[in-house]
Amino acid sequence: MAQMERDYLSNFPTLSLPAAFSQPIYPKTMLRTLLSTIRRGPIIHQLRTPVLVSAIARPVRAFASTTTPLQEAPNDKRGEKVHFLGATSSYFVYEMKFIQNMEPIPTYRVMDQNGHVKVQQDELEVSKEMAVKIYKDMVTLNMMDLILYEAQRQGRISFYMTNYGEEAYMGSAAALQPEDVIFGQYREAGVLLYRGFTLDEFMNQCYSNEGDIGKGRQMPVHYGSKKHNFQTISSPLGTQIPQAAGAAYALKRAGRKNCVMCYFGEGAASEGDFHAALNMAATTKCPVIFFCHVTYDPYVTFFRSISRNNGFAISTPVIDQYKGDGIASRGIGYGIDTIRVDGNDVWAVYNATVAARKLAVEENRPVLIEAMTYRIGHHSTSDDSTKYRDRKEVERRELDNPITRLRKWLEVKGWWGEAEEGALRTDRKKEIMRSFNAAEKRKKPAVMELFTDVYDKLPPNLVEQQRELNELMEKYPEHYSTEAYAKGK
């Protein structure tokens, strides 16, 4: 390395330091910076620009004044533009001022808590068919959540996570095309449901039975479906965010007029992968929509006065998660088109996603949507949220949720009523219970599926280990009962 640099420097035999540098006027670090700038050679002309003149101390000014500026400083109304390559649109000011308070980013909504559309010209171009489908799927998801949550409480499945209060992302699913690729976190069952993932498929996954696409290897609610372009959920938080950017880059290269939708919560946005992903998506111009659902939680009202949001990752209120203006303010920092929406308003979510998709697919711009919602349920079945928040508050919040708001909207339109509601609930309950019972009765996948899919083909060590397990199972059948497992392989 040193050799290479020496070789390189020998290309500039005539390079010598200006006289001003021979006197030790500068702190050593500054001198080093200057020297390294000079060593880089091609950037040497920068020394002549007014940039460095203003950035360093007086004696250099004499050095600089003997030369002409690299280019005329464009003097717009805001003053002289900087020539630093890291921020080319900045300009100089002579008032020393920290950026401290920025205007909070507003929250876009289409309808209020009573389902009234506020701005008339915003009246939606939504068909009755789509609106009713969204509503039905929201109710179905809610009912499935109730049943599977209870099933876990009774020890019939090992784990569950509900979607209570976050059903409005059904609006984002409706705004996408079926070929758009989804990367989720684990609370996006509604998106799958909207795309046609069947109740049987949900139940089979939660029961880890032989009908499970994932072959019973992952915890419940880690859904995935190739048919529905929904990449399989994994537990590590935030990892899907840079993956979504990469997948979007691939779609762009393939010339497909599709985007990638990536869901995550505000807690995951504290992971390094969030930062990596937004920066990469912006610099490589990926058609990806980052959809952050911020779960607003009113658990300790006292904190309200000092914090705009009081949501949770699990038990961590938002004020312990970040100090800035939510996640949306960060998107702007990465140069990403950003919007904050009312996450209980399915039409705000829908409108924002339609527009975001247009930006992504037509202009290859990543977009960030921050949906402010409220996690009504516990984090998961392993969590009792009454330990860190007030049950009454939760009940009060439940009055404004995406489902009731959409129902009010539908009723105003005359597209829904008590009769339809009753029929839907009876019908869905029957379907869910039928799937539930069937899933419970199915066998677990064949034991040897334990070894497959680690690689595309079984490597010799796994062939050997598979044989070893088989021998053990034959030797100790009473210990390794396979009655509950499918035969095969």
Binding residue for other proteins, selected from 31, 126, 143, 276, defined by CB under 8 A: 276
Which of helix, strand or coil describes residue 115?
A: coil
Give burial (CB, 10 Å; 0-12/13-18/19+) of 276: middle
Of 299-307, 344-352, 397-405, 455-463: span binding other proteins (CB under 8 A): 455-463
42 belongs to the binding site for other proteins (CB under 8 A)? yes
Q: Of the two residues 286 and 318, which places its CB atom closer to other proteins in the complex?
A: 286
Q: How far is the CB of 381 from other proteins (least distance, A)?
A: 20
Closest distance of CB 332 from other proteins, Å: 17
Write down the H helix ranges in 154-197: 170-174, 189-195
Distance in Å, CB of 236 to other proteins, minimum? 5
Among 171, 242, 366, 377, binds other proteins (CB under 8 A): 242
Q: Which of 23, 89, 121, 461 contacts other proteins by CB under 8 A?
A: 461
Q: Is 235 considered catalytic here?
A: yes
Quick note: the x/- pattern for other proteins over 180-219, rule CB under 8 A, is -x-x----------------------------xxxx-xx-
Q: Encoding tokens for residue 355? A: 């527009």
Least Å from the CB of residue 239 to other proteins = 5
Encoded tokens for 214:
């994932």
CA angle centred on 173, ends 172 and 175, rounded to 5°: 65
Beta strands in 391-481 (DSSP E): none
For residue 49 the two structure tokens come to 């620009």
Minimal distance in Å, beta carbon 63 to other proteins? 22
447 binds other proteins (CB under 8 A): no
Q: Is 485 helix (H, G, I), strand (E, B) or coil?
A: strand
Work out whether 248 is an interface residue with other proteins (CB under 8 A): yes
Helical spans, DSSP H, in 442-488: 460-475
Q: How far apart are CA 472 and CA 455, in angstroms?
A: 24
SS3 state of residue 380: coil
* Residue that the structure tokens 């095309």 belong to: 177
Is 379 among the catalytic positions?
Answer: yes
- The least distance separating other proteins from the CB of residue 462, rounded to whole angstroms, comes to 8
Does position 239 interact with other proteins (CB under 8 A)? The reply is yes
245 counts as binding other proteins under rule CB under 8 A: yes
Q: Determine which helix (DSSP H) or strand (DSSP E) holds 369, and give its type and residue range.
A: strand 367-373
150 given a catalytic annotation: yes
Q: At what angle do helices 418-441 and 199-207 cross, to 10 degrees?
A: 40
Residues in contact with 341: Cβ distance below 8 Å, sequence separation at least 6, in sequence order? 107, 108, 109, 348, 349, 352, 369, 370, 371, 372
* Single residue of 247, 336, 360, 371 touching other proteins by CB under 8 A: 247
- Does 111 help bind other proteins (rule: CB under 8 A)? no
Q: Which is nearer to other proteins, 284 or 307 (CB)?
A: 284
Binding of other proteins by 308 (CB under 8 A): no
Q: What angle do CA 439, 379, 425 make, to 5 degrees?
A: 50
145, 167, 180, 273: which one binds other proteins (CB under 8 A):
273
Q: Among 46, 107, 113, 284, which residue interacts with other proteins (rule: CB under 8 A)? A: 284
Give the total of residues touching other proteins (CB under 8 A): 61
Cβ 238 to other proteins, closest distance in Å? Answer: 9
Task: Please report, for residues 17, 34, 70, the alpha-carbon distance to residue 55 in angstroms, rounded to integers and kept in the order given.
Answer: 19, 11, 16
Q: Is 377 an interacting residue with respect to other proteins (CB under 8 A)?
A: no
Helix (H) or strand (E) holding 314: none
**Catalytic residue at 378?**
no
Are 341 and 369 in contact by the 8 Å Cβ rule? The answer is yes
Pick between residue 160 and residue 223 the one whose CB is nearest to other proteins: 223
Residues paired with residue 76 on neighbouring β-strands, in sequence order: 79
Q: How far is CA 350 from CA 97, 115, 294, 369, in A?
A: 40, 15, 17, 11
Which CB, 414 or 460, lies closer to other proteins?
Answer: 460
Alpha helices, DSSP H, located in 116-239: 128-153, 170-174, 189-195, 199-207
Catalytically active residues are 150, 235, 379-380
**Residues at the site binding other proteins, with contacts judged by CB under 8 A:** 1-5, 7-8, 11, 36, 39-42, 181, 183, 212-215, 217-218, 222, 224-226, 231-232, 234, 236, 239, 241-251, 253-254, 260, 272-273, 275-277, 279-280, 283-284, 452-456, 459-461
